[in-house]
């Protein structure tokens, strides 16, 4: 992982954010402090309301848009803004929406492309970078921007550290030039698989931690879940080709700790709702946002089964979400597992 110097003298770049949810809006607000940013979303009426209100009252209320941020309801105009070699196009949709968005992009001119989504595509088991390559090929400079970050804190301007993962050194440098600076620190990585696996699976483990906290199992149980959850992330990630060191960094351990312990975590809130025996549909409706850990749990359970990777916590969460297993029974099953030596090394049993 490569550190970069302070970026206070970076040249302003045209930036377009495709996706006006909480995270996309927060990134747009943060980058608009130094760049000309366009924010686009699929719902034209919602975009017009944002333009009139000067904020995203539905997904990120209380954060006025800075002068450098303009709402752009026209898709082609939004793309054209960041189409040049110095531009930065940021896909801020959920994993389920990435392929449809890329299908819209593949017949248009694209400069540097970055995505923010974290998860596996259900049905294919593909990571975001694999979806990008499948739809767009290898000709577009592209990468994943990930790390421990809550939308509200980024929009507020509080410090955070992120990782840009890409095979393209020019793309990594372009993202660092655009994003690194002020209260945002950016590190570079070539380990796309590791960065994306960490960002995806930690959401599942946050659901497990939310269940444990909601059942009042204590801080000891929370620490155990986080630690053994990191072992699961590492096992799956290395099996897919990720590097062990990545899972000890921002997009592994860092994102896992934040999502499992922070009260702003949507996935943790899903677990808290499950511990109260609320139906999943009700929990998701009350959230009003996408909780990526829900579809990811189904995709990862299937993928781990095909690969022969042991992921007991993930399987337990999927059992509660999709098989009707009561949360207390989930905990009992995990505690009833046979004792064994503690290992986090690749391909070792949990």
Residue 115 marked ligand-binding: no
pTM for the model = 0.92
pLDDT score at 349 = 38
Any residues with CB less than 8 A from the CB of 115 and at least 6 apart, and which?
90, 91, 92, 98, 128, 132, 142, 143, 144, 145
Average pLDDT of the residues in 174-181:
94
**pLDDT above 70 coverage of the chain, percent:** 95
Q: Are strands 36-40 and 69-71 parallel, antiparallel or unpaired?
A: parallel
Please choose, from the candidates 306, 308, 317, the residue with its C-alpha nearest in 3D space to the C-alpha of residue 260.
Answer: 317
Average pLDDT of the residues in 212-230:
95
Q: What is the pLDDT of residues 124-165, one digit of tens each?
A: 999 999 999 999 998 899 999 999 999 999 999 999 999 999
Any residues with CB less than 8 A from the CB of 52 and at least 6 apart, and which?
none
Residue 109 marked ligand-binding: no
Residue 42 marked ligand-binding: yes
Q: How confident is the model at residue 11 (pLDDT cuts 50, 70, 90)?
A: low
How far is Cα 258 from Cα 267, in angstroms, rounded to an integer? 11
Considering only the top CATH level, what class is 196-335?
Answer: mainly alpha
Would you call 278 a catalytic residue per the annotation? Answer: no
Residue 290 marked ligand-binding: yes
Residue 255 marked ligand-binding: yes
pLDDT score at 3 = 41
Among 202, 306, 328, 343, the active-site one is 202
pLDDT score at 111 = 85
For the cut 70, the answer to whether the pLDDT of residue 201 exceeds it is: yes
Average pLDDT of the residues in 230-249:
97
pLDDT score at 336 = 83
DSSP 3-state of 181: strand
Q: How confident is the model at residue 248 (pLDDT cuts 50, 70, 90)?
A: very high
Average pLDDT of the residues in 19-38:
97
pLDDT score at 346 = 53
Residue 332 burial (CB count, 10 A): 12
Average pLDDT of the residues in 183-211:
97
Q: What is the pLDDT of residues 307-343, one digit of tens each?
A: 999 999 999 999 999 999 999 998 988 888 877 777 6
Mean pLDDT computed over every residue of the chain: 93
Please choose, from the candidates 216, 161, 240, 219, the residue with its C-alpha nearest in 3D space to the C-alpha of residue 327.
Answer: 216
For the cut 60, the answer to whether the pLDDT of residue 56 exceeds it is: yes
Q: Are strands 69-71 and 112-115 parallel, antiparallel or unpaired?
A: unpaired
Residue 133 burial (CB count, 10 A): 17
Residue 20 marked ligand-binding: yes
For the cut 70, the answer to whether the pLDDT of residue 229 exceeds it is: yes
Q: Which residue has the tokens 């960094």?
A: 249
pLDDT score at 333 = 85
Strand order in the sheet with 184-189: 69-71, 36-40, 14-18, 88-91, 112-115, 142-146, 160-165, 184-189
Instruction: Look at 143 and 289; give whichever has higher pLDDT.
Output: 143
How far is Cα 61 from Cα 55, in angstroms, rounded to an integer? 7
Residue 21 marked ligand-binding: yes
Element (H, E) at 129: helix 128-136
pLDDT score at 227 = 95
Pinpoint the residues of the chain covered by CATH 3.40.50.720: 14-190
Q: Token pair for residue 135?
A: 């739809």
The CATH topology of domain 14-190 is: Rossmann fold (3.40.50)
Q: What is the pLDDT of residues 107-134, one digit of tens each?
A: 898 889 999 999 999 899 999 999 999 9
How far is Cα 146 from Cα 155, in angstroms, rounded to an integer? 16
Residue 202 marked ligand-binding: yes
């Amino acid at each position: 992982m490569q550190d970069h110097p302070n970026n206070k003298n970076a040249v302003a770049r045209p930036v377009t954010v495709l996706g006006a949810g909480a995270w996309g809006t927060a990134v747009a607000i943060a980058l608009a402090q130094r760049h000309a940013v366009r924010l686009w979303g699929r719902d034209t009426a919602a975009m017009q309301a944002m333009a009139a209100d000067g904020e995203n009252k539905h997904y990120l209320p209380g954060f006025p848009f800075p002068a450098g941020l303009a709402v752009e309801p026209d898709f082609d105009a939004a793309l054209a803004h960041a189409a040049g070699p110095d531009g930065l196009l940021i896909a801020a949709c959920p994993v389920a929406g990435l392929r449809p968005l890329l299908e819209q992009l593949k017949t248009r001119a694209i400069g540097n492309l970055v995505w923010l989504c974290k998860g596996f595509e259900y049905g294919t088991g593909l990571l975001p970078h694999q979806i990008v390559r499948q739809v767009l090929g290898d000709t577009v400079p592209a990468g994943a921007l990930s790390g421990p970050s809550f939308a509200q804190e980024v929009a507020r301007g509080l410090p955070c550290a992120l990782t840009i993962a890409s095979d393209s050194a020019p793309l990594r440098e372009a993202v660092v030039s655009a994003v690194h600076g002020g209260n945002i620190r950016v590190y570079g990585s070539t380990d796309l698989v590791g960065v994306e696996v960490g960002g995806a699976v930690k959401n599942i483990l946050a659901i497990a931690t939310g269940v444990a906290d909601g059942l009042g199992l204590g801080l000891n149980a929370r620490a155990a879940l986080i630690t053994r959850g990191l072992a699961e992330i590492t096992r799956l990630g290395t099996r897919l080709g990720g590097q062990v060191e990545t899972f000890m960094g921002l997009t592994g351990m860092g994102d896992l700790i934040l999502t499992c312990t922070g009260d702003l975590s949507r996935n943790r809130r899903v677990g808290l709702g499950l511990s109260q025996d609320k139906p999943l549909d009700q929990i998701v409706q009350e959230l009003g946002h996408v909780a990526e850990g829900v579809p990811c749990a189904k995709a990862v359970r299937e993928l781990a089964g095909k690969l022969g990777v042991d992921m007991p916590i993930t399987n337990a969460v999927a059992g509660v979400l999709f098989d009707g297993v009561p949360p207390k029974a989930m905990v009992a099953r995990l505690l009833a597992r046979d004792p064994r030596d503690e290992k986090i090394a690749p391909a070792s049993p949990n």
